[in-house]
Structure 1
């Protein structure tokens, strides 16, 4: 069918996504489902994107198996057990596995390569969306008798039962690949404006890149929050930085709008950092054409159609790739790793100051934009907790072994 997920911007500024065919025509029932169920549930754009990705995989399976789900449902039929099992297996494959490829002559003894598979968590999420969507679709196409509702619910339950089990026991902790202070210091040195090691040549871009890393490193804000910053969010007299929620901003021309996922908050910043931001705004940003059309802090400096526009998520990703190109030691550097690094240093500083765990969680939750009762702090504090646990167990072992030596 040549389906693809297309993002559009409404006149109101709202970002929206649709599943379209090869001619650009939206598919009716996926659009209805997204509008009524996903968007109606006040879900974020990324949630809609993931839902449509799962539905696209469902229609890819339909083409692969030569079935017509909508016609079958309209005739009163539902998916049978063997079809559900085939759907489960198909949903484990990467969407790239069925992309058209150039035919080549191969030896008859050559092994058939297996399609790429996705992670257990993505597989689970896909089947969850597919089960919900098929239940919605069947309800739209079949009469709502009690027996029909029972059959639809049975099909949905069977699909849900096919989801893989998710276990955290064997998964590698994200904190095991962490950013040390020494590594970040070396990165600051490489990115220093005017230095020979910078991966970009434009001086304004160098200043911008170094400043973005500095803000991420010392505030722990997310990538979307960084790209959503406006000049007005910096109070240069009070030395504060405000994280403001601006979903579906009409004046933001970026198709994939960076947004603040967490709560609004005001973060104190060091006067030296405030001065660096001030210098960037006056000496670098102000000379870029087109920046007066918006107030976003970080802009594209490179000449071209996007010059002066707010830095996009794709533009930031390009910057991250440039960091990795400097050397293999920087392969682990990305925005979220900097957030973990901030939380690790925050934990150590709180320990040094003798802050109670309860108070530490309250302060951390505010600075990160979380609800105090969310429990998210433990995810970002795991590396520090491991180190404290190691100190505790080694202390017990040391006490035991010394006691044994005396006897």
Structure 2
């Protein structure tokens, strides 16, 4: 019977969150992945979210070994690791969503030996009809890189226990080199020149439509209850107005807001001991002070005094946005808000919090054009607002997108100015 895995996060007294990869049936942490996470990631002060993602990607390797009955420790004793056919199969599996891999693993285990070929063929046919189920090349590449590092670490640890004359030492080192280089060579390349698939922002028409829908008293508002409607409209305004990330929004505390100067402090509080959420929302970007408009400040203050204070549990913490009941709003709760919006309004089926960050940058570009801001000042201003360092190239990505938009408009103008043939009946 194949093992099932899950991630469990422990919160230490210091507030530090540390994820463990555990056996789902026993709840016992797996030894090797835990030691790998501790020695290679925790000692380097990697964020708990990074460690969790790494462990989640390692489950692909573990499920692959289960499916192919591969005992890595037994193989290393013989100076072996993976052969080239297994390497190719592992990379193919890395292109699939984890949910698909887990489902196929359960199907293969539950099927009898005589039925297994039929089930495998059916799953292959189903997957061939759903090409969109493959994850992006970038995500697959990250997954392969974590697996490659883990395999290299396993071999290095084993090699250090062997004497220089041990017969398995040299073959194992050579096997590691082949597997590591093979995984690197098979990692999907980035999009590179493929710019068409980049995430888009909401245009002016879509933005206006969104404001109509999220208005508290709108009959099209998808959320139920006064608190949810007021809070969710305010959340959209924070996202669209300041371009902050999910973790930054959920990490906002009331003391971070200065209503005298109308400023908000966007803080980094990794492993905050006052945060009761196990899956703590974190800021990925730099601390910064951002201005609030009079309207946003007024709406935020009204939410605190008229809606948030209704919940007794909200008095136990300082986080600005709360769930119904008063607990700090979680990442899952925030995602659910947009799930409901997308479900009720199919025109926004691709709307998610980070898309509004792109939209903020789109709107910023237009304002920069109207003000005649030069490119260097625009990059610095954008970097400060988004929380990037001035040496980051991320801001240039958005100026490049704006250049592409202008090129598109110019191209259309050129086409419209072309002289039409006399016999053109259109």
Q: Give the structure-1-normalised TM-score.
A: 0.89
Please say if 1:163 is aligned against 2:187: yes
- Return 5+ residue gaps in structure 1 as ranges: 302-306, 403-407
Contact 1:178 1:332 in 2 (8 A): no
Contact 1:91 1:123 in 2 (8 A): yes
Match of 1:281 in 2: 304
Please say if 1:328 is aligned against 2:331: no
Match of 2:153 in 1: 136
Match of 2:383 in 1: 365
Partner SS state of residue 329, structure 1: helix
Shift in Å, 1:338: 0.8
Deviations 1:35-55 (A, max 9, x none): 111222322222212211221
Shift in Å, 1:348: 0.8
Match of 1:112 among 122, 138, 163: 122
CA distance in 2, matches of 1:295, 1:32: 36
Cα root mean square deviation, aligned: 2.6
Shift in Å, 1:227: 0.8
Match of 1:229 in 2: 252
Match of 1:311 among 329, 333, 337: 329
Taking a change above 3 Å as real, the CA distance of residues 144 and 344 of structure 1, as seen in their structure-2 partners, is: farther
Match of 1:100 among 93, 106, 109: 106
Match of 2:90 in 1: 87
Please say if 1:65 is aligned against 2:68: yes
Match of 1:350 among 345, 355, 368: 368
Shift in Å, 1:299: 0.2
CA distance in 1, matches of 2:400, 2:147: 34
Partner SS state of residue 251, structure 1: coil
Match of 2:176 in 1: 152
Partner SS state of residue 100, structure 1: helix
Shift in Å, 1:17: 1.1
Shift in Å, 1:266: 0.6
Taking a change above 3 Å as real, the CA distance of residues 181 and 24 of structure 1, as seen in their structure-2 partners, is: same
Contact 1:344 1:381 in 2 (8 A): no
Contact 1:194 1:203 in 2 (8 A): no
Taking a change above 3 Å as real, the CA distance of residues 85 and 397 of structure 1, as seen in their structure-2 partners, is: closer
Match of 1:125 in 2: 142
Please say if 1:25 is aligned against 2:28: yes
Match of 1:5 among 1, 4, 7: 7
CA distance in 2, matches of 1:316, 1:50: 20
Match of 1:174 in 2: 198
Shift in Å, 1:149: 4.3
Please say if 1:377 is aligned against 2:395: yes
Match of 1:338 in 2: 356
Taking a change above 3 Å as real, the CA distance of residues 249 and 79 of structure 1, as seen in their structure-2 partners, is: same
Deviations 1:4-30 (A, max 9, x none): 222222222111111111201111111
CA distance in 2, matches of 1:315, 1:262: 22
- Which ranges of 4 or more aligned residues in structure 1 deviate by more than 6 Å? 102-106, 108-111, 395-399
CA distance in 1, matches of 2:248, 2:153: 35
Shift in Å, 1:103: 6.5
Contact 2:152 2:176 in 1 (8 A): yes
Taking a change above 3 Å as real, the CA distance of residues 109 and 312 of structure 1, as seen in their structure-2 partners, is: closer
Deviations 1:39-93 (A, max 9, x none): 2232222221221122111111111111200222244333333332332333333
Partner SS state of residue 41, structure 2: helix
Shift in Å, 1:240: 0.7
Shift in Å, 1:129: 1.2
Aligned length: 394
Shift in Å, 1:275: 0.8
Taking a change above 3 Å as real, the CA distance of residues 110 and 41 of structure 1, as seen in their structure-2 partners, is: closer
CA distance in 1, matches of 2:296, 2:120: 60
Match of 1:210 among 222, 225, 233: 233
Q: Give the structure-2-normalised TM-score.
A: 0.85
Shift in Å, 1:392: 4.6
CA distance in 1, matches of 2:15, 2:210: 37
- Return 5+ residue gaps in structure 2 as ranges: 128-132, 420-426
Taking a change above 3 Å as real, the CA distance of residues 317 and 109 of structure 1, as seen in their structure-2 partners, is: closer
